[in-house]
Amino acid sequence: MNYYSLNNNAPSVSFAEAVVKGLAPDRGLYFPENIQPLPASFFENIETLDTVEIAYQSIKQFIGDEIPETELRDILKDVLSFDFPVVEIEDNIGTLELFHGPTMAFKDVGARFMARCLGYFNQNNNNKVTVLVATSGDTGGAVANGFLGVKGVDVVILYPSGKVSDIQEKQLTTLGQNITALEVEGVFDDCQDMVKTAFLDEEISSVKQLTSANSINVARWLPQLFYFMFAYKQVKQKGKEIVFSVPSGNFGNICAGIVANKLGLPVKHFIAATNVNDTVVRYLQSEKYDPKPSKATISNAMDVSNPSNFVRIQQLFNNNFHELKDDFSAYSFDDEQTKATMKAVYNTTKYIADPHGAIGYMGLKEHTLTDNQYGIFLETAHPVKFLDTVESTINTTVEIPTQIRKVMNKEKKSIHIKSYDELKKFLLQ
């Protein structure tokens, strides 16, 4: 499988090259040259397949022979070592819980998969790779955990100061070893712009091999399609059309879901549920893409004004606005609506939703499901990661899992930067 740049001004590359480069030289995102649907028998018999087999059959065409089958299955077995349950909330609504991994966020799968792929490609290489990543919350912790101690890889994480939760900050600033956290005065979009600029800076690339572990990287992005396959396996017997509502920030997760659909996964509709950072919502109303400065919210992992992966979504719909609108909707909700929904869901069902999951739930309600449809919203992070917000909103105590207790009392270590020049100086020192 080869990958081309969506800016169409760079050579096509292999999967390994796309993983190592992260971003194409023309600043475009890499995209697979073709997506071949899986045989109908795969979906007919999906209940008989375990998670590793589902994942292997789903991802193998995107990797080709660059990682042998035995090694790829071993990687998947290691990465998918926890559960992905669909928990029913109402008669026609369930939530797909993606927070049972080591950092209790959906990004654990993509970060661990990418780390192991990069480790495989780098196993006989003495040159170090620097993973440069921007985070609006959960990416940082997942990447730090996934790459911790990986041979030949240094990780540099940029995060906006004061705009991630305390627990998220602990997860990305306390591990040490090959992980460095840079605390940026600004918002997530500033961090992401710095990362993209560094990739194209020849003074840096002449002395360092940079790659990204954001969802711009194909090895971080594509494994997220597994979630949608796992959910389908669990609800197939209901015999209903499936509607997915995905809390969306950089739009990598929902984009991967659409790839699963292109592989043949039966999905009636996709909903991108956002907070007040509503660039895509406004685009679907006006056909004008007009990012504004991002705003801080209680659903901070979605505080993204210019989502990188939306260009991939447009490509998946052949850059046809009307085709996109047929199968894809987007809705925006503010903090007060989010809190009210968290409270209502808890009071009615005793289910504790985090702010992002609550927005996903609202997306299903706004879309209005028919009797023949089953809605699944994604719970992308454990509510404990937003402890103060959750406990004050629903007036209850959230039990703190072992994964979180391990980092809460560790010492934070970060380096403050204000500008791209300071990032560049750090990378070149």
Tell me the pLDDT tens digit for each residue of 55-91: 999 999 999 999 999 999 999 999 999 999 999 999 9
Condensed to tens digits (0 to 9), the pLDDT of residues 44-59 reads: 999 999 999 999 999 9
Q: Which residue has the tokens 């993204």?
A: 304
Condensed to tens digits (0 to 9), the pLDDT of residues 230-278 reads: 999 999 999 999 999 999 999 999 999 999 999 999 999 999 999 999 9
Range 220-229 average pLDDT: 97
Q: What does each C-alpha distance from 189 to 2, 15, 301, 358 come to in angstroms?
A: 29, 27, 12, 23
Contact at 8 Å (CB) between 247 and 302?
Answer: yes
3-class DSSP state for residue 272?
Answer: strand
pLDDT score of 267: 98
Annotated catalytic residue 107: yes
Give the confidence band of 227 by pLDDT, cuts at 50, 70, 90: very high
Residue type, 373: Q
pLDDT score of 378: 98
Q: Which residue has the tokens 């809705």?
A: 331
pLDDT score of 108: 92
Is pLDDT of 416 > 90?
Answer: yes
What is the C-alpha R_g of the chain?
A: 20
Range 121-132 average pLDDT: 81
pLDDT score of 272: 98
Give the confidence band of 192 by pLDDT, cuts at 50, 70, 90: confident
Q: How far is CA 104 from the centre of its chain?
A: 13
Contact at 8 Å (CB) between 245 and 353?
Answer: no
Q: Looking at the whole model, is its pTM more than 0.75?
A: yes
303/321 Cα distance (integer angstroms): 24
From the list 21, 60, 77, 107, the catalytic residue is: 107
Range 322-340 average pLDDT: 97
pLDDT score of 121: 87
